[in-house]
Amino acid sequence: MLSVVTLVLSLQAPVALDGRTLGRRAALSAGASALFGGALSTLAYDEIPQIDADFAAREAARKEREAKAAKQAAELAKVLKPVESARTEAEFIEAADQLAVWVIGKGQGAIPEGVGVKNVVKRITLAYDDLPKRSYACERTRDNNGICYSPGKGASLAYEALIKELRKATIIQLGDYRRVEFNAF
């Protein structure tokens, strides 16, 4: 590229080519069209590329993915069962901690394909809401008359930590060069 620029700058006077005079501007435009015209012609296809669809291989991959997801769903159900069957604060804390450790161990995509994340969260929330509640004094509002109910500070902390870990593990990342995150619940 540098040699083209030096060639153009060295052309102080018009150059005679086949009996015609050629100025700097004409020489530059002729050189640029020759340079870019050759590059553009190489980008075109000679023919449309043909892609063969191997339906048998795709079906086998789909069945393999479904089998893997079913296995992971059974594993999730086994870990989620103690959370749903907890009847005391101590049982819930232990089961929620075990589920949170399992989610951390699985990492991104802990909830397998085909299992609704919102359904899992709803099941955990129902188990948390079914725990026995204790009353305590709180700020008076028009709804609570100064008395609030909670299953206990430990159960509340375990529930919030479990939901936080589920949120981290189920973030869906979209975009090509930008990081766009979509929370599943």
pLDDT tens sequence across 94-107: 999 999 999 999 98
Closest to 166 measured CA to CA, from 113, 99, 114 = 99
Closest to 133 measured CA to CA, from 108, 102, 112, 156 = 156
Per-residue pLDDT tens over the stretch 42-81: 556 677 777 778 888 899 999 999 999 999 999 999 999 9
Per-residue pLDDT tens over the stretch 127-153: 999 999 999 899 999 988 889 999 999
What gap in Å lies between CA 129 and CA 118, rounded to an integer? 16
Domain boundaries, the chain: 73-182
Closest to 100 measured CA to CA, from 83, 117, 86 = 83
Quickly count helices (H) and strands (E) in the chain: 6, 6
Q: How confident is the model at residue 170 (pLDDT cuts 50, 70, 90)?
A: confident
Tokens of 75: 């594993």
- Would strands 20-22 and 15-17 be described as parallel, antiparallel, or unpaired? antiparallel
Name the more confident of 171 and 64.
Answer: 64
Q: Is 129 helix (H, G, I), strand (E, B) or coil?
A: helix
By CB neighbour count within 10 A (0-12 exposed, 13-18 middle, 19+ buried), where does 159 fall? buried
pTM of the model: 0.64
